[in-house]
Amino acid sequence: MSSTGRSSPKPVAPPPLQSSRTHQRLGHQNPFLARQDRLLQVPFLDECPMVGPPSCRLKDFKRPLLRKCVFDLNQVDWTKAEVLGSGVDGHVWLVQFGEDERKFALKAFWRANPDPDFYFAAMRESQNNAVLQMMETAVAEANAKSCPILVKRHPVTARDALGNMFAFCDEARQIQENRHNKRREKQLQQQLQQQSGQDDSQLQPDPPSTSDKDDTTASSGLVPIRRFPRMPKCYGWLKFNPPALIRRMPHQVRPQPIRIDKYKFYFPDDPDAEHFAIVYEYIEEGETDPAVVDEVAETLWLAGFCFVCTPLARNWRGNVLVDLSDIIYAGARGWSPAIYDKRTAESILI
């Protein structure tokens, strides 16, 4: 167990790189491509089951790992499943597990191996979910101590984005908590000195204020994160063999090959193939409020995330971003200062 009382991670070895013409042509001669290739070969899954809150140490943010789902794909009743859609990342079903009456979105990814010519959706979503879960936990813990997380107000560079992301880790929050307590102690001492001439019954410290001004000022360049946006609850990752899984499905819900531009996506009929899937809570259809999207986008930007160049309005349901491949956490493959900016609903819902 870790110092926080949470299970120590058990990283899963990442799948090997898939060869590509671009990779063979340029290889490691280009420093940028070399770093991008290295980022495709880091672990992104944790064998530990997703039980309880995640560990939020600095090393967890530096190497985010998504924990394993406790559900069993063998318990899915495919006669009750529905197809929610397909895209460049994979195929999504509405499913239920065993006697559990809750509905879940099961997203299975087309690609089993990372290809240097493309982003690896299974990796991107796993890492994003791991980081988002840690941040949500950190905000809740910080609020419980009335000591909000402070991040740079106008992040621009990769250094800014990483600094803001690391502000959510246990070590950074402990430093902030110590500073907060020292400021509070100093305030109490000043209050007692001012009240020294009053009756003893009147010597009561002022209650702690909840205004932003108590935590930071405009001149400090910092801003508190008191709320984290509503994101789809992730229940972890699973592995599956496509032909074995598809054989259990009625024809009406079996994934069909799709073609997007010049690329064809499908699950191979390979008895040895191992593909990844992620289980999410099912988000009902609903109207998307641009004002809420603006708030979500601002918080994600402050937390170090960037949006991809071509986000889609269909990836939002009732003010919730349901496609976690639309964002990239700071330090991940594909993150770039060129696309790191405070986005608006107008540029997202397209």
What are residue 90's DSSP bridge partners? 109
Average pLDDT, the chain: 89
51-60, 101-110, 198-207, 212-221: lowest mean pLDDT where? 198-207
Q: What is the pTM for the complete model shown?
A: 0.88
Whether the predicted pLDDT of 276 surpasses 70: yes
Which residue pairs, CB below 8 angstroms and at least 24 apart, start in 283-289? 283/105, 283/232, 283/317, 283/318, 283/320, 283/322, 284/317, 284/318, 285/317, 285/318, 286/317, 286/318, 286/319, 287/318, 288/313, 288/316, 288/317, 288/318, 288/319, 288/349, 289/319
5-14, 35-44, 87-96, 138-147: lowest mean pLDDT where? 5-14
For residue 290, give the amino acid letter: P
Which is more confident, 25 or 94?
94
Whether the predicted pLDDT of 201 surpasses 60: no
Whether the predicted pLDDT of 206 surpasses 50: no
Res 29: pLDDT:
63
Burial (0-12, 13-18, 19+ Cβ within 10 Å), 11: middle
From CA 264, how far away is CA 258, in angstroms rounded? Answer: 6
Q: Are 316 and 350 in contact (CB under 8 A)?
A: no
What are residue 104's DSSP bridge partners? 95, 281
13-17, 207-211, 302-306: lowest mean pLDDT where? 207-211
Average pLDDT value for residue range 103-108:
98
Res 18: pLDDT:
72
Residues whose CB falls within 8 Å of the CB of residue 140, separated by 6 or more in sequence, listed in order? none
Average pLDDT value for residue range 279-301:
97
Average pLDDT value for residue range 37-61:
95
* 143 pLDDT tier (thresholds 50, 70, 90): very high
* 194 pLDDT tier (thresholds 50, 70, 90): confident
